[in-house]
Amino acid sequence: MNASRDLQELHGVRSRSDDQAVTAEVLRLNQAARQAARGQLTGWDQPGHFSATLIAKADPFQAYHSSVQNRKPATGLIARLGEALRRRELSVGELVERALRRATEAQHAHRAFIEIFYDTARASAKKLDEEIAQGRWRGPLHGIPLAHKDCFERVGRAPTVGSIAADLASPDLNATVLSRLEQAGSVDIGALNLNEMIAGPTGHNPHFGDCANAIDPSRIGGGSSSGSAVAVRLGIVAASLGSDTGGSIRIPAAVNGVPGLKPTFGRISRAGCFPRAFSLDCIGPLAASIGDCELLFNTVTGADPRDPSNIDRPSSLAAQASERPTDTSRVAILGGYGDLSPDVQLAFSRFVARCEAELGPLARQRTLELHTLYAMGDIISKVEAAAIHGDWMSRHPERYSQAVYSRTEPGFHLPAVRYVEAINLRARLLAQFIESAFDVADVLVFPALPVPVPTRIEADMEQGSRVFSVVAQLTRLTRPFSYLGLPVLTVPISDDRNGMPVAAQLIGLPFGEARLFDVARRLIGDGLLCDDSSLLRD
């Protein structure tokens, strides 16, 4: 019996991938993890220390929440739409019809949606208009059309997860985050496109069609929350929820030029969200402005007994806070990002200069080797994905695209000890990173992508064994912070010579999302970063 058949016997999964490419990927990750763990681990390191370290190292402004939020004027597209609804200049029904029409019109070129909920959206709009007529107002999201990545459970509708292999039961409950948005009065107009099985940074999907960039459809929409970013940038909806394992909110936000937040690990409940890697996954908003992003974040954040990984932070400091933390926030530039393409380097350098013009001289910080953090996060992602998909891959391998199958396959071959090391080292590496990178800073500025937005052909992961190089290139600057569990807000900072967005990441201390929103406002403003014509003007 040959080696390939031996491995199939061991894992129950038939190899469909280039053996040399899979072997090289496994050896690369194994070596990186071994080097990182050498001399670091002790018998006392345990997985539970990670959440405890997030809490212990939290931003002192972590508890800033609704009591302060409600005292500041609302900003963003949602606020403008809400004002029009309150003044009865626009009905919810009219607003929802505009969103549905724009979603339909854009579908051929961009494929942002997997399903548009025409009937249920219209029924919700009618109910919400009746509530307004009765003087009932649920808050700033009342009557606002939204759409979300198709990885969330909806009552009576299992998510497709962008796949034909997923065999999920019809749920009896909505995902917690969708329930909170529904209770706040928003209208869910559709399930948004994504990379197959939440596995990819490009927006390619062979089953439901590629989700193309909102600015230039020949280029990638990013992934895996591609539909969320594209629908926002096109002005179909003002905001959307996506999920992020190694960059899946931040990359599509970057390539479409909209803000996107990966929150602190555990900050937002994941109940009812299909996982890619349960130790890394986060749910977060993408939106038309910083204010819209913050509003969605505040709406869905909070304790949830349905998610045992949820970390609820008390809001005891909120009543004591009289000012937002912007003026006292210390900002620094995080180095170690390696080579950037000339266009990205120029845009990032100019952004740093703008930051210093606004804030004064900024410290340059160096810290742990980011490639080590990348490798640790990649090991966790691959092993946990293999555990999730192993049964489906053994029973129906033909239902997976080659790219997703190949990307998942190394997870079966990585040594269990490397996975345990990656999990157990998180708390120690997080503490070391915070102590070195945040010693003179509250927020770190870092590039989002090292290259300009590639075309869909350039980033095609189905060609041979290119999946590993494409994923590594696009996630090189995002995955390390998923491993650390830190909050990261991606913001557009410029356009390149092709008119495509260039973005930066603002990295905060655990539970420091409020500070990130404030610093982002100061550095890029709170203007709309989308086409508002379809929602604000008929």
Taking only the tens place, the pLDDT of each residue in 212-268 is 999 999 999 999 999 999 999 999 999 999 999 999 999 999 999 999 999 999 999
Which residues, in sequence order, are bridge partners of residue 365? 334
In this prediction, what percent of the chain has a pLDDT beyond 90?
83
Residue 224: per-residue pLDDT: 98
The answer to the question of residue 400 being in a domain is: yes
Asked if residue 71 has pLDDT above 50, the reply is no
Give whole-number Cα distances, 125 to 95, 98, 102, 188, 300, in Å: 9, 12, 16, 10, 21
Range of the domain at 495: 11-51+72-312+328-522
Residue 348, domain CATH: 3.90.1300.10
Question: Regarding beta strands 282-287 and 239-244, do their DSSP bridges make them parallel or antiparallel, or are they unpaired?
Answer: antiparallel
What CA–CA distance (Å, rounded) separates 284 from 264?
A: 10
Q: 287: closest CA among 500, 507, 76? A: 76
The answer to the question of residue 242 being in a domain is: yes
Asked if residue 465 has pLDDT above 90, the reply is no
Residue 14: per-residue pLDDT: 86
Burial class (CB in 10 A: 0-12, 13-18, 19+), 520: buried
Residue 73 — pLDDT band, cuts 50, 70, 90?
Answer: low
The answer to the question of residue 61 being in a domain is: no
* Token pair 């390149």 in the structure block, residue: 496
Q: 227: closest CA among 180, 195, 275? A: 195
Kindly report the backbone phi and psi dihedral angles of residue 286, in degrees, each rounded to the nearest multiple of 5, phi listed first: -120, 140
Residue 15: per-residue pLDDT: 87
Residue 322: per-residue pLDDT: 42
* Mean pLDDT, all residues of the chain: 92
The answer to the question of residue 317 being in a domain is: no
| Active site amino acids | 149, 224, 248
The answer to the question of residue 320 being in a domain is: no
What CA–CA distance (Å, rounded) separates 529 from 99?
A: 17
Residue 3: per-residue pLDDT: 56
The answer to the question of residue 90 being in a domain is: yes
- Total structural domains in the chain? 1
The answer to the question of residue 356 being in a domain is: yes
The answer to the question of residue 60 being in a domain is: no
